[in-house]
Amino acid sequence: MRNQGPGSVVSYAWLQQYGLPTGGSADATYSDADGHTTWQEWRCQTNPTNALSALRLLSAFPDGSNVTVSWQSAVGVDYILERSTNVAGPPPIFTPLATNIPGQPGTTSVIDTNALGAKPFVYRLGVRN
């Protein structure tokens, strides 16, 4: 993911692949109106010209004291999954559930095997630097 364009922190080849400017002007734009900047889409390896391609949770399915959390993932991206029981107070406090989760083709799932206590649970997904 190296070989940035002049003035851009995003890969020159990656920007060209999607027909985006390579001089840095596209880095902070929302090319497909999915709420993620071009830079964020590059970090997540999602398609910046397709609003359906974005880093987002697909489901959080409860099963007894477990919750299976799934998302659309990409090979070569490592993910972080966090959980909170309270997002009302500033700032919300999230606890890491799993880190260094390797992306897979299609979807990736993690089972929260300790989904006991105060509910509801709120999950947050990120990519590892």
Per-residue pLDDT tens listing for the chain (129 residues)? 445 556 788 888 999 999 999 888 999 999 898 889 999 999 999 999 999 888 999 999 988 889 999 999 999 999 999 998 877 777 888 999 999 999 999 899 999 998 877 678 899 999 986
Is residue 79 packed enough to be buried (19+ CB in 10 Å), middle (13-18) or exposed (0-12)?
Answer: buried
Token couple for 16: 């060209």
What pLDDT score was predicted for residue 1? 44
DSSP states of 58-73: EEEEEETTEEEEEEEE
Q: Where are the domains of the chain?
A: 1-51, 57-127
pTM: 0.81
Phi-psi region of 42 (alpha: psi -120 to 50; beta: other; left: phi over 0): alpha
Q: Are strands 66-73 and 57-63 parallel, antiparallel or unpaired?
A: antiparallel
Lookup result for tokens 């489901």: 59
